[in-house]
């Protein structure tokens, strides 16, 4: 897996957008960027993934820079239930498993009322 770097913690006001950055400067051309989150006392939950185009789903948007060395996960209207640890992962592609993941320390996002 490509190495990823995330800030250890971030705060966000409820109702505002939460923008979580991730650096992955060593990512190779065929490695996706995945985001998972882990709410306290639960198993990790998949959020979104992308290769080089921006992606959006019902949970979040993913913005990947043109050189693919960094990305930003956007939660457009954060709620208290979005308080969690967010992991940015770039699993090795090319036929290997997308479920075999190397977790870093992630970003602890705290959403305040």
Partner 1 sequence: SAVISQKPSRDICQRGTSLTIQCQVDSQVTMMFWYRQQPGQSLTLIATANQGSEATYESGFVIDKFPISRPNLTFSTLTVSNMSPEDSSIYLCSVEKFLNTEAFFGQGTRLTVV
CA torsion through residues 92, 28, 23, 81, sign:
negative
Two tokens, residue 16? 């505002």
Rank residues 14 and 93 by Cβ distance to partner 1 and give the closer one.
93
Question: Per CB under 8 A, does 30 bind partner 1?
Answer: no
Query: Which neighbouring-strand residues pair with 69?
Result: none
Binders in 38-77 for partner 1, by CB under 8 A: 41-46, 49
Rank residues 36 and 68 by Cβ distance to partner 1 and give the closer one.
36
Hey, what's the torsion of the CAs at 31, 21, 26, 63, to 10 degrees?
Answer: 40
Positions touching partner 1 (CB under 8 A) are: 32, 34, 36, 41-46, 49, 85, 87, 97-106
């Amino acid at each position: 897996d490509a190495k990823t770097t995330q800030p250890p913690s971030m705060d966000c006001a409820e109702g505002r957008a939460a923008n979580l950055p991730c650096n992955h400067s060593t990512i190779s051309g065929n490695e996706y960027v995945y985001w998972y989150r882990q709410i306290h006392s639960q198993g990790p939950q998949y959020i979104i993934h992308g290769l080089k185009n921006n992606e959006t789903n019902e949970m979040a948007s993913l913005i990947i820079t043109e050189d693919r060395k960094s990305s930003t996960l956007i939660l457009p209207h954060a709620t208290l239930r979005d308080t969690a640890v967010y992991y940015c992962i770039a699993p090795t592609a090319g036929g290997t498993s997308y479920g075999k993941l190397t977790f870093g320390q992630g970003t602890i996002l705290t959403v305040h009322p």
